[in-house]
Amino acid sequence: MRARYPLVTSKIHGFLHGADYNPDQWLNDPDVLAEDVRLMKLANCNVMSVGIFAWATLEPEEGVYHFAWLDDVLNRLAENEIFVWLATPSGARPAWMAQKYPEVLRVNPSRQRILFGSRHNHCYTSPVYRQKVHEMNTRLAERYAEHPAVIGWHISNEYGGECHCELCQEAFRAWLRRKYGSLDNLNRAWWSAFWSHTVTDWAQIQSPAPHGETMVHGLNLDWKRFVTDQTADFMRQEIQPIRAANPNLPVTTNFMGTYNGLNYWRMVEELDVVSWDSYPTWHAGQDDTALAVQVAMTHDINRAMKHGRPFLLMESTPSTTNWQPVSKVKRPGMHLLSSIQAIAHGSDGVQYFQWRKSRGSSEKLHGAVVDHVGHEHTRVFQDVRKVGEVLQTLGPVAGTSVRPEVALIFDWENRWAIEDAQGPRNAGMHYEETVREYYQALWEQGIPVDVVDMDADLASYRLVIAPMLYMVRPGVAERVSAFVERGGIFVATYWSGIVDENDLCFLGGFPGPLRSILGIWSEEIDGLYDHDVNHIETVPANPLSLTGRYEAHELCDLIHVETADVLAYYTGDFYRGRPAITVNRAGRGYAYYVASRNRAPFHYDFISKLVKRHGLSRVLETELPPGVTAQIRTDGETDYVFIMNFASQTRPVRLPRQRWTDLLTGEPVALEHDIEPFGIRVLARPSDGHFIPIVPSGVAVLTPAGR
């Protein structure tokens, strides 16, 4: 085996399969707890996340700890070879704590302290809360860090939100002092002479508030950065006693996809394994493709955050949620398909929320593996069991990954800045959607992608697509230029190179520091109403062989070519005949510029021409029908190819002639293949040498010994 990542744990020899397990809700019913284990084995589960919201059971009164119940649960699971992500319970704290120490409660942007209730709403600065968490985590770690059931730590739950209390204000001011050193620097960065907002005393600084400051973009941006840093700092403190007790146990926390409130790229360093919670509304529309694309892109972010190291699908629902506007049950096939989709993009496990449906409170009707009926004779249970079976069959795939040739930049700070700016289309700039549109074209053609932030090292990629790179942080333009000079293909669009890291506009012509590598100057940008359209038309015999006429909408950048060549022109309005797509040669590479927001047919054609022109690889050298994608994991010897049909119709797929094995059926593989609605195929072939992950040395450091 050439290129494999270490597994999450040496105790499980393949994929993880399991759920959030909340036995603390069932302690009065020992029969239920015993039955749980029988059912877990029947469902082919090998892992449970335990104790996520168990603080009140673990410490019912201040300083009085009850661990006996958890001992019993963990012992029983260990005896049955079901392993445990042990949680730290900081996601929700007990009422006695809020009563005695109100400072643990969050203050909202209107400066109102919340009452006790709900969850995920602590003050992450409060020294009392940090101390209480430290005491709890120390006890848990000392007691369980060597427990045979425990394979790692599930730190807190879905960190999120912000606190505006006085402690947080002080911490924010200290953060700003560290960052700027002086008020002069801060005032310059915040352009605070505007509207006389000059700060003359650190104490004047307040976090953004609906009844106070909202208009200073530099402040807004810094506040968001601070919230991320402070959350990461809180998390670091949570982790410290955990690692002290046993540095070999991996640590994760469950992210929430592309949740806007925290820049996850700043949190991954503290974690050994990245994991996330995925709750798509399957079957909400006529077609699930767009949703599949959205989920796929998030999987690819999670894999890219640790440079290809397998991540984990920590939560998903085996049936429905109960918080979406409509809860449609998964159609036959969808549970297996959506679970395997995570695996196809690099997850080393599939886990659910939750194991057993709660009897009361707000999640009593949320999907779970075991329903209120209490037995295994349900469609959902059998679907889960089937996923477990398939994951066992696919065991050898665990630990493999992919090294894509393509990177797509989706950057949190860039999104914050775009959303905050008042500009050409306050009706919607659609940054995330635009990134997704490019992603979709890659997905439809079965091209693996790393979705990265703008600070990523670009050296290992051949094509880098950076839609709407409005903010360009220091070093980015230099890295892009070096990448292109060395032979890389770079794609940028309108609304790029407008502001620096402080949200200050670049002077001297847009796209700022990207201007010379792109070889264009953007003079104006036209915001279009939803009912407006323009069109672009390709230049005959252009170097990309792109042909046709495409619709442009929402944003049309009016550019001048400097050193670039024109591939397409606008056809309408007063800027008819002005360049709409350009390419600039620099060194051995090419830098493309797409001046308008275009629609799906353009993205599909543009990507497919780039692939042809620049010799990029697809997972399958074949055209895939609508709704179908192909993804790959490989160890450099065997390629594991996942073909997934998200359409509700049967789709024909024509495989290229290669030495195929069907991993799920063991049957010979026909080259002409019909894939049923929501169907999957997992095929193996000898590796063709593309997409081999580079497993960094030292990656195994934090995993248990003896592997």
The reply on whether position 356 binds ligand GLA by CB under 6 A is no
CB of 42 to ligand GLA, least distance (A): 24
**Interaction mask 336-355, ligand GLA, x per CB under 6 A:** -----------------x--
CB of 265 to Zn ion, least distance (A): 24
CB of 125 to Zn ion, least distance (A): 5
Take residue 609 and report the two structure tokens written for it. 């021409």
Query: 3-state DSSP call for residue 220?
Result: helix
Take residue 358 and report the two structure tokens written for it. 């709660």
Mark whether 405 is an active-site residue: no
The reply on whether position 321 binds ligand GLA by CB under 6 A is yes
Would the CA dihedral through 15, 315, 360, 139 be positive or negative?
A: positive
Decide whether 363 or 551 has the Cβ nearer to ligand GLA: 363
Query: 3-state DSSP call for residue 410?
Result: coil
Q: What is the distance between the alpha carbons of residues 506 and 497, in angstroms, rounded to a whole number?
A: 7
- Residue 420 interacts with, from ligand GLA, Zn ion, none (CB under 5-8 Å by kind): none
- Residue 300 interacts with, from Zn ion, ligand GLA, none (CB under 5-8 Å by kind): none
Decide whether 87 or 484 has the Cβ nearer to ligand GLA: 87
- Residue 315 interacts with, from Zn ion, ligand GLA, none (CB under 5-8 Å by kind): ligand GLA
User: Measured in whole angstroms, how far is the alpha carbon of residue 165 from the centre of its chain?
Assistant: 29
Q: What is the distance between the alpha carbons of residues 425 and 359, in angstroms, rounded to a whole number?
A: 47
Residue listed under structure tokens 């072939």: 685
Decide whether 171 or 186 has the Cβ nearer to Zn ion: 171
Residue nearest to ligand GLA (CB): 277
Indicate the burial class of 365 (C-beta count within 10 angstroms; 0-12, 13-18, 19 or more). Answer: middle
The reply on whether position 277 binds ligand GLA by CB under 6 A is yes
Take residue 80 and report the two structure tokens written for it. 């049955």
CB of 424 to ligand GLA, least distance (A): 36
The one catalytic residue among 59, 158, 162, 554? 158
- With beta carbons less than 8 A apart as the criterion, state whether 352 and 18 touch: yes
Number of residues that bind ligand GLA (CB under 6 A): 9
CB of 197 to Zn ion, least distance (A): 24
Decide whether 122 or 681 has the Cβ nearer to ligand GLA: 122
- With beta carbons less than 8 A apart as the criterion, state whether 394 and 49 touch: no
Question: According to CB under 6 A, which one of 90, 157, 302, 338 is a site residue for ligand GLA?
Answer: 157
The reply on whether position 633 binds ligand GLA by CB under 6 A is no
- With beta carbons less than 8 A apart as the criterion, state whether 654 and 311 touch: no
Take residue 267 and report the two structure tokens written for it. 């949190």
- Residue 407 interacts with, from ligand GLA, Zn ion, none (CB under 5-8 Å by kind): none
Decide whether 163 or 368 has the Cβ nearer to Zn ion: 163
Q: What is the distance between the alpha carbons of residues 542 and 97, in angstroms, rounded to a whole number?
A: 69
Name beta bridge partners: 552.
534, 598
The reply on whether position 279 binds ligand GLA by CB under 6 A is yes
- Residue 353 interacts with, from Zn ion, ligand GLA, none (CB under 5-8 Å by kind): ligand GLA
Q: What is the distance between the alpha carbons of residues 429 and 419, in angstroms, rounded to a whole number?
A: 8
The reply on whether position 315 binds ligand GLA by CB under 6 A is yes
Q: CA 548, 551, 555: angle at the middle one, nearest 5? A: 130
Decide whether 165 or 245 has the Cβ nearer to Zn ion: 165
Indicate the burial class of 563 (C-beta count within 10 angstroms; 0-12, 13-18, 19 or more). Answer: middle
The reply on whether position 227 binds Zn ion by CB under 5 A is no
Q: What is the distance between the alpha carbons of residues 18 and 20, in angstroms, rounded to a whole number?
A: 7
Decide whether 161 or 423 has the Cβ nearer to ligand GLA: 161
Which helix or strand (DSSP H or E) is residue 72 part of?
helix 68-79
The one catalytic residue among 59, 162, 238, 315? 315
Decide whether 154 or 685 has the Cβ nearer to ligand GLA: 154
The reply on whether position 59 binds ligand GLA by CB under 6 A is no
- With beta carbons less than 8 A apart as the criterion, state whether 59 and 22 touch: no
Mark whether 59 is an active-site residue: no
The reply on whether position 303 binds ligand GLA by CB under 6 A is no
For helices 412-420 and 217-245, what crossing angle results, to 10°? 150
The reply on whether position 158 binds ligand GLA by CB under 6 A is yes
CA–CA distance from 366 to each of 20, 180, 320, 352, 353 (Å)? 13, 47, 6, 11, 8
Q: What is the distance between the alpha carbons of residues 202 and 183, in angstroms, rounded to a whole number?
A: 7
Decide whether 234 or 438 has the Cβ nearer to Zn ion: 234
Stretch 154-173 residues interacting with Zn ion (CB under 5 A): 163, 165, 167-168
Tell me the one-letter amino acid at 377.
H
The reply on whether position 123 binds Zn ion by CB under 5 A is yes
The reply on whether position 556 binds Zn ion by CB under 5 A is no
| Residues with a known catalytic role | 158, 315
| Residues near Zn ion, by CB under 5 A | 123, 125, 163, 165, 167-168
| Residues near ligand GLA, by CB under 6 A | 157-158, 277, 279, 315, 321, 353, 363, 366
